[in-house]
Structure formats: C-alpha cells, structure tokens
C-alpha cells in the first residue's frame, strides 16, 4: 500500500544532515555547557555558535535568543512572565481568536486568575481585524500576541503592520512563528517584532527544542528558576544536541526554503483546485496569504475525523486540524472564529505538505479523496438525499 505523509504542520522527519550534526553531542561531546572543563567548554562553544546562527538568520543580537524546550514553553513563558512582570491586576494582554492552544489556553488561565485578556477577532479568511486592534491599543493594552502563520488554516498575518500599530502605542508585540520560522524570511527588526516564538521540529529539526527572540528592551521575569542558564531567564541544563540540531536546521533552511516554498505552492494550489471540484467543498483560510504547504478544506455533511481515518486506511496520513487538539472538541475553535456555522466546522481536512511530497502524491490524493468523501456522505444523516443515494 502507498504511504504518503501530509501532516508536516504537525511535525516533520529529521533531516539526516541535522542528525549528523547532532551525533557528536549525543555521543562523545556530552559536556555540560556550564562546566569549566574541556568537555563543558566544547559544549558551550557549540551552544554559542548555534545562538549566532539563529540570531543572524532573523537579524537579532545573540543575547536576544533564549533557547527553550519547545514553542509551547516559549509561548507560555511570554504570557505568564509578562503577567508576573506587570502584576496580575495591571496586565492587559490581547491575543487573536485563532491562536494555537499554547497561547489560547495560558491566556484563558491568566484570565481565570484575574488578568485582563482581550480576544481580537479575525475576518472570514482569518486576517486580524486591525481596526479592533487599534481600539484595544488605545485602551492601554500591555502586550499583543498574534500568530504569524496559522497552523490549521494557514492564513499569514501582516505582521509588519500589526507590529507598527503596537509600536505606535508603545505596546510590546509578540508573534508565534512556529509555522513560519524557516519557511518565510523573517527580519525581526524590519517586521517590528519584539518577541517571537520558534521551534525546530516543523522544519526537519529535532523535537523538544524551541527558542524565543526577546528584544533587549523587553523586561521579563524568569520562567524557570535554578541555574543561570539563558541569561537567568530559563534555568536547566542545556539540550546541546537539540540546540545544535536546531542551528543546523536553520542553516539548511536559509539555503533551501525559497526553492521548497516554490515547489510546495505549486503542489498546494493543484491540490486545492482538485479538492474544490468536489461538490459542496470550501476552502478554509486565506486564498493567497497562506502558508505554502497548507491545504485546509471542509466538506459539508461529514466529520473531518472520519475522513482522516478513511484516508489513513488508503495510506494518506493527513489531519483534521491542530495535532494538539485533534482528540478534543477544540478542533473547531479556529473555524468558529472565522464566523462559520457549527454545521460547517465539522469537516475540516488539513493536508500539510513537505519536502518528500511529489506530483504523484497529489494525483493519488485527488484520486482517493472524492471517493472517500462520497462514501462518508452516503452514510451521513446530515447529507441531502441526493448524496445518500449516490452509487
Ligand atoms: C503555531 C504553533 N505554535 C506552537 C506550537 C507548539 O510547538 P511545540 O511542539 O514545539 O511545543 C505549534 C505546534 O503544533 C504550532 O503549530
């Protein structure tokens, strides 16, 4: 049976060149980067070289890069440490209604604990309502956090403009770039970003390593207390192999991301066009301002989860939304935020492409998909009679 992986937004395979770069730090060069002996100094050197690679890639200073254990950790750190810095009854954080659960849930938790949290709406294609943002900024918000490229619907925000508006009102601007870092060029200075979240495993790097860009001007309370690692902001022995792998990933992305984006955009557009030929099927997210690898479509009258399982049986590994919420009701929160009806948010299918995918994979998906949708509609009590009687 065929085996086609199209769940690259959830995670990606490790690039063998990245593994090769990591291997010495997993085997012979195992020193603690804080130790003063030869082993420790070797690890420290690798750590600082990695920091330089990341900082150059986004036009930041070395001391503005804080390594973390994941993008989830970095996002939690931003919101919770900002609230600690400001004080729970003084802080006012604004986030968009389409944030990843690792921003949405800490924000909701802070709200429960007395923080002032505002949710900024998006339009039907997922673009932030900039007029609403301006109103919120005028009300005296202390931090704005908006996802760069949405992990479910793929919409890419105009980050530069959002950052400009925040700066006009002397407000810090954070963006979760877990889905765009290493896929789209990001210059933090030019794009008016004060704080940015990244990770390695969405771009062929190792899992369990992330980073935060934190502009020198931004004051933040430490997240994990303990040793003095990461400028005293994030204690804990460094994951040197992971960090070296992250840097190698970034190095490769710098050379390869443009070509890959061109190839994936072509495959993506062909797949969207083919999927939309199926009756009563609609695109979720923006038609052009979207991640090069993201296809998200909804098929009326069927459940996305059932479709994912059907496709899996045919050797196609896709998903129905965020991997972090695929086992909960949460999967529809993003589509509801676009203003869709509850009936419309049942059937999203997310196909996220990556470097192994080919034209032949798209041919195969477009052969299987109409058949799978037809089969599920035939069994769906929600489908009009004509779908239930189709052979
Ligand atoms: C937009 C976004 N933010 C954050 C995360 C969390 O990343 P990590 O797996 O590194 O915690 C993800 C991954 O699903 C994501 O897509």
CATH number for 47: 3.40.640.10
- What pLDDT does 32 receive? 97
Please tell me whether residues 186 and 278 are part of one structural domain. no
Say yes or no: 331 and 216 in one domain.
Answer: no
Q: Are residues 235 and 288 in the same domain?
A: no
155 lines ligand 1 (CB under 6 A): no
Q: Two tokens at 290?
A: 């979207």
Judge if the beta carbon of residue 203 lies within 6 A of ligand 1: no
Helix, strand, coil percentages, rounded to 5, for the chain: 45, 15, 40
pLDDT number for residue 87: 95
> Known catalytic residue: 81?
no
Based on the fold, state whether residues 61 and 198 are members of the same structural domain. yes
Give the range of the structural domain holding residue 312, as residue numbers without chain letter: 4-11+256-388
From 225, 252, 279, the end of a domain falls on: 252
Q: Supply the pLDDT for residue 84.
A: 94
Regarding whether 208 and 290 lie in a shared domain, the answer is no
For the chain, where are the E strands, in sequence order? 4-5, 65-68, 92-96, 116-120, 143-147, 172-176, 195-199, 210-214, 281-283, 294-299, 316-317, 348-352
Question: Residue whose CA is closest, atom 11 of ligand 1?
Answer: 72
What does the pLDDT read at residue 347?
72
Q: Are strands 210-214 and 65-68 parallel, antiparallel or unpaired?
A: antiparallel
| Last residue within a domain, chosen from 209, 225, 252 | 252
155 plus 34 within the same structural domain: yes
Percent of the chain's residues with pLDDT above 70: 97
Residues 192 and 260 both lie in one domain = no
Six-digit token string for 342: 């509850």
- Split at pLDDT 50, 70, 90, the class of 332 is confident
Q: Which residues of 123-147 are buried (b: 16+ CB within 10 A; e: fewer)?
A: eebbbbeeebbeebbeeebbbbbbb
Q: Are 185 and 327 contained in the same domain?
A: no
For the CA of 201, the closest atom of ligand 1 is 10
At residue 322, the pLDDT reads 56
Q: DSSP for 246-300, please give it.
A: HHHHHHHHHHHHHHHHHHHHHHHHHHHHHHHTSTTEEE-S-SSSB-TTEEEEEET
Which among 207, 227, 252 is the end of a domain? 252
173: how many CB neighbours lie within 10 A of its CB? 23
In eight-state DSSP terms, residue 114 is: T
Mean pLDDT over 290-318 rounds to: 96
Quick one: 305 and 233 in the same domain? no
Residues 260 and 290 in one domain: yes
Please give the pLDDT value at position 343.
74
Number of domains in the chain: 2
- Cβ–ligand 1 distance for 105 under 6 Å, the answer no
Same domain, 217 and 290: no
- CATH number, domain of 330, equals 3.90.1150.10
Residue 323: which pLDDT band, with cuts at 50, 70 and 90? low
Does residue 268 register a pLDDT over 60? Answer: yes
Q: Which of 75, 99, 102, 183 to mutate to test the pocket of ligand 1 (most atoms within 8 A of CB)?
A: 102
Mean pLDDT of the residues in the chain: 95
Do 122 and 76 fall within a single domain?
A: yes
């Amino acid at each position: 049976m065929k085996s086609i992986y199209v769940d690259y937004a959830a995670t990606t395979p490790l690039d063998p060149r990245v593994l090769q770069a990591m291997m010495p730090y997993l085997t012979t060069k195992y020193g603690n980067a804080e130790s003063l002996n030869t082993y420790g100094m070797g690890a420290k050197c690798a750590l600082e070289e990695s920091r330089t690679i990341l900082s150059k890639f986004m036009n930041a200073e070395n001391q503005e890069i804080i390594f973390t254990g994941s993008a989830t950790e970095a996002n939690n750190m931003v919101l919770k440490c900002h609230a600690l810095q400001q004080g729970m009854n003084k802080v006012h954080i604004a986030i968009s209604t389409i944030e990843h659960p690792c921003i949405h849930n800490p924000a909701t938790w802070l709200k429960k604990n007395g923080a002032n949290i505002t949710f900024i709406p998006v339009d039907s294609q997922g673009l932030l309502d900039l007029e609403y943002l301006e109103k919120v900024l005028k009300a005296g918000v202390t931090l704005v956090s908006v996802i760069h490229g949405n992990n479910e619907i793929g919409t890419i925000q105009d980050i530069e403009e959002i950052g400009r508006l925040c700066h006009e009102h002397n407000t810090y601007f954070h963006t979760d770039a877990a889905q765009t870092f290493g896929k789209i060029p990001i210059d933090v200075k030019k794009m008016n970003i004060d704080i940015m979240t990244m990770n390695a495993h969405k771009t062929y790097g190792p899992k369990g390593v992330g980073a935060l860009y934190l502009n020198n001007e931004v004051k933040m309370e430490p997240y994990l207390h303990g040793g003095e690692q990461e400028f005293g902001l994030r204690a804990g022995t460094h994951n040197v192999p992971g960090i070296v792998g992250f840097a190698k990933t970034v190095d490769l992305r710098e050379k390869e991301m443009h070509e890959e984006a061109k190839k994936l955009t072509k495959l993506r557009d062909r797949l969207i066009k083919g999927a939309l030929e199926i009756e009563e099927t609609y695109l979720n997210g923006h038609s052009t301002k979207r991640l090069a690898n993201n296809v998200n479509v909804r098929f009326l009258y069927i459940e996305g989860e059932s479709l994912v399982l059907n496709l899996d049986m045919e050797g196609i590994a896709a998903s129905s939304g965020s991997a972090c919420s695929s086992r909960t009701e949460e999967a529809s929160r993003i589509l509801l935020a676009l203003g869709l009806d509850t009936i419309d948010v049942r059937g999203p299918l997310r196909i996220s492409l990556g470097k192994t995918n080919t034209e032949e994979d798209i041919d195969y998906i477009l052969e299987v998909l109409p058949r799978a949708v037809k089969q599920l509609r035939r069994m769906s009590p929600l489908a009009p009679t004509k779908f239930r009687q189709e052979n």
